[in-house]
Structure formats: structure tokens, C-alpha cells
């Protein structure tokens, strides 16, 4: 029997590619020494990006090669994309030129078209018993292109609304997952998110657990398995009964970064997986959110960048959407990525207790530390004139970093006999970062 999709819910499935490139290494994994971060291609990894609105694969008109090259140019190492189970109508959420809302006849779905006319966005409806090889080829080409550029793909399998009691659709969903997993088995740069924003529309924990088990069962014979991510909440939520098969817990609009502190004891990676709705400023609020989240101990920051559209895959479109992005924000996020890569962050953990200054109203300070060796400190908010820190005895070098330009604002070396050390803070606007380490 042929099943037909409703207008805007298209539940995808993948056809195994006939030939895939050999994996460069084992799939991205939690780091064995510090599972709050990743190990990928033999290197400790934090995932940072500013990517398009999730339609890079399903939107036939989107030039993903140009897009991925733009990400690579900033040193970004992540992109988030939807599998094709969901797309949006033009104009949804007041997003202009939405990549997740393909123009008429530009939607690529995992399923082939049926003989029945009437899909609202052009062409026939979809036959859930047959696959579209063009879609599957595009998916594997996309993941391969990302792999060549050092970019990990977070593949979001589903979007609401789903429960275990969904008639014949559950069998279709299970089949989809198995085929996706089979198609992408050879790639080292993929992990799977179960469902985008499952807290809207009745998606149950039981259903999410079922889908996670389907992924696991599909990979039973694989020598190495891919990570599974779960989207937990907007902003924050303490996870009381974590699914043990999940390695990455994602939050949206996670500012302030309470979600990291609440869930750090789980010893899993915590992600700020989508940003937006921060007003008309397309840069500042997202820079602040990124620095706060990663210096709090987060492992993933994935900014939603609406400057990537069809025809502007290099990321220079004007933004008319409820979020940020653009070349200037990406340049500033690149500064953050380089700052974090300057540390042996696998040896570090959040430790705000070293900050002894009474902070002015509206100012926050966060610290990652490897005690006596290295400290990453981030100040968010104006009017901090000095910073008192509790440091062990030793010799140190301190450098204040301008988060907008990447320039060093002030450096100093000092010997310290233990206890508190007060450092004068150079003039700054909005935020500033501090790097402290033992001389090499």
C-alpha cells in the first residue's frame, strides 16, 4: 500500500550509497580523558560553528560546496542539517529566504514521488515505500564534502510531532533510521540528533528512547559507532534521568549557560545547539552567548546564521529573520574558537570559585582552569576595573584579549606566592577575555 505524506511532514530515509570514501579515522567520540569534550581525528575537539538554517541537503537549490567552504574559511568544524523528515512553508517563523523552506519543486525528499498528484509545493506526493536515489546521493555527497573540510555533521533525524502510538508511521521511522545509519556508516564526521525541539508537540521520552535504540541496533555490526544527541530544552533544564545511550545533550537559546552547570556532573558533552530571538543586533548577543557557554564548560556552540541563503551560500545575505549571523559575527566566533584551541582544555574544568572579586551588577565572570597551569576567564558586562583571582604559587603570564578584534589589550608576567592576585582590567566595552598560563 502506498502511504502519502502530509504537506509539511516528510519523514526521511536513506539509500545506502554504492561507494563511500573510507573514514579518515574513528567517528567523533567523547574524549576518554574528559568526556565533556570530543576526540576527533586524534585531536581534542570543541565544536563551534555559525551555520545555515538546516536545509543544506533537502533544498536542491542550495550550493552546499560554497557554504561548507565558507565555514572552513573561519575554521568552523560543525554544521547542523535536517534529514528531510521536516521542511517549512515559505514565510514560516518570519524567516526570509529560509533554506529549510525550499522554493517550489526544489524539495529533495528521501522518498521517490508517487503517481498521485497534489504535493502543495509542486509535483506528486511521496511514496513511502520507494527511495529517491538523487536525495541519497546528495546526502552522502554533502557529508563527504564536509569531511574533506574538517567539518562534523549533526544530522537531525526528526522534528515533532511523534509518539510511539502513531499507526504505521513508527515502522517507517524505524526503517528510515536503519537506512540512514547504513548509508553513513563509513563517515567519521557524523553524529545523530534524535529530534529537534521534542518538547513542542507531544514527542515522548519513550519514543526518543526507541529511536536511539534503533540507531544502536542498526550499528550492532559496525566496528565503531556514532554518537547520539538529544535535544533537551530551550534555555535550561536539569536532566534527572538521562538516557545512557545519549552522549550529547543539546539546548537551544542557552543563555545564561545554566544548562552546563546543571548537567556537568553527567560527564557528557553539553551543547548550545541553536541561537536566536535576541533582538535586532545580529552580532553582539550571539558573541556573548558563545563565550559564556563555552567558558562555562560547554562542548558545542552552533549559531543559527540566517545570512546563508540560496544564492548567498557564502553567507552575505541581508538578514530578515529572528536571529543573527553574517561575516562579522563569524569573524568574532573564529576568535573564540582560536582562544579555546590555545588551551589544553581536556585538562580543564569550570571553576568560578577562583574569582574573588565582588562583581558589579550586570557583570558575570566565568573560568575554566587547570589549577596552577592554565586559566581561561571571560568577563561579560561593563565596568569591571580589577579582577582578583585565587592562584597557586608559581610564575604566570596573563594576556587580556579583545573578543571583537582578537587583539591583545594587555600582557604581564608575574611571580605569585599563592592566595589572591589582583589584576587591573584594561578598558573594554561589553566583554573581555583573559588567558593565564605558566611560561613555556
Is the domain covering 351-437 a CATH 2.60.40.1180 domain?
yes
Provide the residue ranges of all domains of the chain, joining segments of one domain with +.
Answer: 29-345, 351-437
Please tell me the predicted confidence (pLDDT) of residue 241.
95
| pLDDT of 366 over the 60 cut | yes
Mean pLDDT along residues 327-353: 98
Whether the Cβ atoms of residue 48 and residue 79 lie closer than 8 Å to each other: no
Please tell me the predicted confidence (pLDDT) of residue 216.
97
- Other Cβ atoms within 10 Å of 279 Cβ, number: 10
Could you read off the pLDDT of 248-293 as tens digits, one per residue? 999 999 999 999 999 999 999 999 999 999 999 999 999 999 999 9
Mean pLDDT along residues 39-45: 98
Mean pLDDT along residues 427-437: 98
**What is the pTM (predicted TM-score) of this model?**
0.93
| pLDDT of 32 over the 50 cut | yes
Residue-averaged pLDDT of the chain: 93
Please tell me the predicted confidence (pLDDT) of residue 18.
30
Mean pLDDT along residues 343-370: 97
Please tell me the predicted confidence (pLDDT) of residue 22.
42
Please tell me the predicted confidence (pLDDT) of residue 202.
83
Whether the Cβ atoms of residue 419 and residue 394 lie closer than 8 Å to each other: no
Instruction: Tell me the C-alpha distance between 40 and 2, whole Å.
Output: 42
Please tell me the predicted confidence (pLDDT) of residue 125.
93
Contacts of 165 (CB under 8 A, 6+ apart): none
Could you read off the pLDDT of 139-196 as tens digits, one per residue? 999 999 999 999 999 999 999 877 888 888 999 999 989 999 999 999 999 999 999 9
| pLDDT of 17 over the 70 cut | no
Cell of 263: 548537567
Residue written as grid cell 545575505 = 317
Distances (CA, A) of 229 to 179, 254, 273, 313: 18, 16, 10, 27
Q: What percent of the chain has pLDDT above 90?
A: 86
pLDDT band at 7 (very low <50, low <70, confident <90, very high): very low
Q: Which of 22-26, 369-373, 377-381, 392-396 has the lowest mean pLDDT?
A: 22-26
- Which residue, 69, 42, 79, is CA-closest to 149? 69
- Other Cβ atoms within 10 Å of 251 Cβ, number: 27
Q: Which of 87-96, 322-331, 396-405 has the lowest mean pLDDT?
A: 87-96
Is the domain covering 29-345 a CATH 3.20.20.80 domain?
yes
- 347-352, long-range: CB < 8 A, 24+ apart: 347/33, 347/34, 347/373, 347/374, 348/374, 348/376, 349/34, 349/36, 349/297, 350/260, 350/261, 350/264, 350/296, 350/297
Phi, psi (degrees; rounded to nearest 5) at 70:
-65, -45
**What is the distance, to the nearest Å, from the Cα of residue 325 to the centroid of all Cα atoms in its chain?**
14
| pLDDT of 117 over the 50 cut | yes
pLDDT band at 3 (very low <50, low <70, confident <90, very high): very low
Please tell me the predicted confidence (pLDDT) of residue 167.
83
Residue scoring higher pLDDT (326 or 130): 326
Q: What percent of the chain has pLDDT above 70?
A: 95
Please tell me the predicted confidence (pLDDT) of residue 24.
53
Contacts of 76 (CB under 8 A, 6+ apart): 48, 49, 50, 51, 151, 330, 333, 334, 337
Could you read off the pLDDT of 52-109 as tens digits, one per residue? 999 999 999 999 999 999 999 999 999 999 999 899 999 899 999 999 999 999 999 8
Instruction: Tell me the C-alpha distance between 373 and 226, whole Å.
Output: 33
Mean pLDDT along residues 332-347: 98
Beta bridge partners of 127: none
Amino acid at each position: 500500500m502506498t502511504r502519502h505524506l502530509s504537506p509539511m511532514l516528510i519523514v526521511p530515509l536513506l539509500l545506502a550509497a554504492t561507494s563511500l570514501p573510507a573514514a579518515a579515522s574513528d567517528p567523533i567520540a567523547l574524549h576518554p580523558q574528559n568526556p565533556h569534550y570530543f576526540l576527533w581525528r586524534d585531536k581534542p575537539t570543541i565544536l563551534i560553528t555559525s551555520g545555515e538554517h538546516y536545509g543544506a541537503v533537502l533544498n536542491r537549490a542550495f550550493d552546499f560546496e560554497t557554504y561548507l567552504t565558507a565555514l572552513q574559511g573561519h575554521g568552523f568544524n560543525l554544521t547542523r542539517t535536517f534529514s528531510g523528515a521536516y521542511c517549512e512553508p515559505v514565510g514560516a517563523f518570519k524567516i526570509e529566504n529560509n533554506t529549510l523552506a525550499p522554493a517550489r519543486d526544489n524539495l529533495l525528499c528521501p522518498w521517490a514521488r508517487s503517481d498521485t498528484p497534489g504535493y502543495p509545493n509542486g509535483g506528486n506526493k511521496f511514496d513511502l515505500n520507494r527511495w529517491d536515489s538523487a536525495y541519497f546521493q546528495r546526502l552522502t555527497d554533502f557529508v563527504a564534502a564536509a569531511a574533506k573540510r574538517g567539518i562534523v555533521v549533526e544530522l537531525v533525524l526528526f522534528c515533532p510531532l511523534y509518539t510511539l502510538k502513531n499507526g504505521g508511521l513508527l515502522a517507517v521511522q524505524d526503517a528510515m533510521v536503519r537506512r540512514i545509519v547504513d548509508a553513513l556508516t563509513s563517515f567519521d564526521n557524523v553524529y545523530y540528533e534524535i529530534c529537534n525541539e521534542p518538547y513542542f508537540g507531544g514527542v515522548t521520552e519513550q519514543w526518543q528512547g526507541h529511536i536511539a535504540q534503533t540507531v544502536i541496533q542498526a550499528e550492532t555490526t559496525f566496528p565503531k559507532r556514532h554518537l547520539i544527541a538529544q535535544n533537551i530544552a530551550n534555555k535550561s533544564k536539569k536532566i534527572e534521568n538521562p538516557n545512557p545511550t545519549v552522549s550529547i545533550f543539546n539546548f537551544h537559546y542557552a543563555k545564561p549557560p545554566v544548562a552546563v552547570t546543571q548537567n556537568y556532573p553527567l560527564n557528557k558533552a553539553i551543547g548550545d545547539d541553536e541561537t536566536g530571538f535576541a533582538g535586532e543586533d545580529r552580532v553582539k548577543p550571539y558573541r556573548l552567548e558563545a563565550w559564556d557557554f563555552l567558558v562555562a564548560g560547554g562542548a558545542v556552540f552552533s549559531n543559527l546564521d540566517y545570512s546563508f541563503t540560496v544564492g548567498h551560500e557564502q553567507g552575505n545575505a541581508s538578514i530578515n529573520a529572528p536571529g543573527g549571523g553574517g561575516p562579522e559575527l563569524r569573524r568574532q566566533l573564529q576568535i573564540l574558537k582560536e582562544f579555546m584551541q590555545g588551551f589544553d582544555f581536556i585538562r580543564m574544568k569550570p571553576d568560578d570559585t577562583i574569582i574573588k572579586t565582588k562583581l558589579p551588577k550586570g557583570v558575570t565572570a566565568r573560568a575554566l582552569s587547570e589549577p596552577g597551569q592554565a586559566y581561561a576567564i571571560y568577563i561579560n558586562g561593563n565596568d569591571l576595573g580589577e579582577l582578583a583571582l585565587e592562584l597557586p604559587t608559581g610564575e604566570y603570564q596573563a594576556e587580556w584579549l579583545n573578543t571583537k578584534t582578537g587583539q591583545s589589550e594587555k600582557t604581564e608576567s608575574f611571580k605569585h606566592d599563592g592566595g589572591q592576585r589582583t589584576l587591573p582590567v584594561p578598558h573594554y566595552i561589553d566583554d573581555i577575555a583573559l588567558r593565564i598560563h605558566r611560561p613555556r
